[in-house]
Amino acid sequence: MSSSDQHSSLLEIDQYIERLFVPRDPVFEQALRDATEGGLPEIHVSPNEGKLLYLLAKLSGARRVLEIGLLGGYSAIWLARAIGPKGKLVTLELDENHVRVAGKNLERAGLRSLVEIRQGAAAATLEKMVQAGEAAFDLVFIDADKNNYPVYLDYAMKLTHPGSLILGDNVIRDGKVARSGQTDPLVLGIQEFNRKLAANPKLETILITVMREALDGLAIARVKD
């Protein structure tokens, strides 16, 4: 099977799952349109992965959630819906335009009161949170600049508690992470992130594949009791 045929097959399967299990929702559709009109890169999680994030948050009973990388608010809407009216989502974002678009999308979704957006470089914000003794989070979702994933993992370990989930998006990179000799700093960052997950004795971790036009994956780690 050629590479183009393989990608077409992946997309077909992803769309099949989406039709069955992720009904069309005008809130999400408008959020994506606003992101496009706002000039944001089209790198949001897919509808199926959004549903997966929602279910993981629900299954774990998460009430305090940290998201590293807000973009246009698409994944934040999934997570905020999962934690319910008594929950809180803290989301970090560097880009002012992303914050503006995401804020509008969260407002339209009726979830803005559950979400605290902290603008600035994520590593610096995370350091402030640690120094301030921020309350631990039940779930951390990492979906930002891939070269800094290892740094974000270190902070996630400091901001969680036994039983917390740590999730990392884009951990397969169309299979590039499995190949040696990579030079792309994004791939190298993810390779180091995956190795750190595997080697950390305080974590129970697996990577699962996520498909769309290409093959990617989500890291799911649980902080041991």
Per-residue pLDDT tens over the stretch 71-119:
999 999 999 999 999 999 999 999 999 999 999 999 999 999 999 999 9
**Which residues are registered as beta bridge partners of 35?**
none
Q: Which of 63, 59, 44 is nearest to 169 (CA)?
A: 44
Residues 171-197 pLDDT 10s: 999 899 999 999 999 999 999 999 999
Residue that wins the pLDDT comparison between 91 and 4: 91
pLDDT tens by residue, 13-38: 999 999 999 999 999 999 999 889 88
Give CA–CA dist 15/111, Å, rounded: 27
Q: Which class is 3-223 in CATH?
A: alpha beta
Task: Report the C-alpha gap between 225 and 223 in whole angstroms.
Answer: 7
Written as six digits, the tokens of 131 are 């120094």
